[in-house]
Amino acid sequence: MIALDAAFEVLRDAGKPLHYREITKQMIAQKMWATKGKTPWETVNAGIYVDIRDRGRDSRFVRLGAGLVALNPEVTGDTPNFELPSPSETVEYEKARTRLTFTAAAEHVLMESGSEEPLHYKVITERALPMIQTESRTPSATMYAAILSEIRRQEDRGETARFVQHGRGMVGLSAWLPSEVARIIEEKNREVRKKLLNRARSVSPVEFETLVSELLVSMGFEEVELSSASGGDGGIDVRGTLVVGNSVRIRMAVQAKRWKSNVTSPIVQQVRGSLGTHEQGLIITTSDFSKGAKTEANRSNAAPVALMNGEKMAELLAEYEIGATVRSYKLFELDEEGVE
């Protein structure tokens, strides 16, 4: 049963308005609906929001305020025991109250896509934007980063991630795969990312800078140039222009650190001091960043310096198939009905 149908059944059985968290709780308790997401109520809330937004008075649901949801008597034919809000009040309330996380909105988009085929993260973001509030200039990049970060966190904890990467920016749900298949994929991907990172740490400084350049190109950078072929670790190693949506162009100065120890705040200051006019900084390292480095990178009233640690680099190398290959296999499942 899909989420909206389950929510409808819960409200019909209750005979009264319920908070969307209570609706979700009863849906799961009665085994009417299941999800691997950590915030299932957000998925349900998003589904109701989209249904009301798209269907208006034809929606089976109405929002009464403060997360309270009821069945729409104009659709169900029931005698309401509450005052029905006007369409404009409903829309304004939804705009004011609905604030979904990127990953919750992504899960909803995939679940409501009408198939079990993966979608590109840019398509997911486009469909999810009405459900999220963000000031990001690059919401699709924020969406993809959120999905990849969640996958990594859940895999590191030995949990089944709710999202599955399919290469070249394509994302699906692990719920679409048998649990054993999802587990094998997670273990294999974790192993490949670890080996990619170890390989990056073992190459020469010049080879590492070349690897970083290749990754930047795959990520959408243009005019990528190695600043020096000396292999030195000081100053800016690569320069390029990040192009977003064929309209936003951000000139980036990149320092590549093939290090085992954490990058500290003086390195961030060094990169910031080496930036040219209208440039932003980026440090890519095979290690990680100290707390001071992170604080310095986010310092207000200073030129932005983005940070990419080894785990994130390995994720992106795998995603863009640099040193790795995404393979697809046929998976056969037995039909529920026997062969006559």
- What distance in Å separates the CA atoms of residue 280 and residue 6, rounded to the nearest whole number? 48
At CB < 8 A and 24+ separation, what contacts does 249-253 make? 250/280, 251/276, 251/278, 251/279, 251/280, 252/216, 252/221, 252/279, 252/280, 252/281, 252/282, 253/279, 253/280, 253/281, 253/282
Q: How far apart are CA 121 and CA 220, in angstroms?
A: 14
Q: Which residue has the tokens 């604080």?
A: 295
pLDDT for residue 84: 56
Can you tell me the distance from the alpha carbon of 279 to that of 266, in angstroms, rounded to the nearest whole number? 19
| pLDDT tier, 184 (very low <50, low <70, confident <90, very high otherwise) | confident
CA-CA distance, 58 to 183, in Å (whole number)?
41
What are 209-241's pLDDT values in tens digits? 999 999 999 888 999 998 765 444 447 899 999
pLDDT digits (tens, 9 = 90+) for 64-108: 766 788 888 888 877 666 565 555 544 444 444 446 788 888 988
Confirm whether pTM is higher than 0.75: no
Which fold is adopted by the domain 204-319? Trna Endonuclease; Chain: A, domain 1 (3.40.1350)
Q: Are strands 248-257 and 279-285 parallel, antiparallel or unpaired?
A: parallel
Element (H, E) at 102: helix 102-111
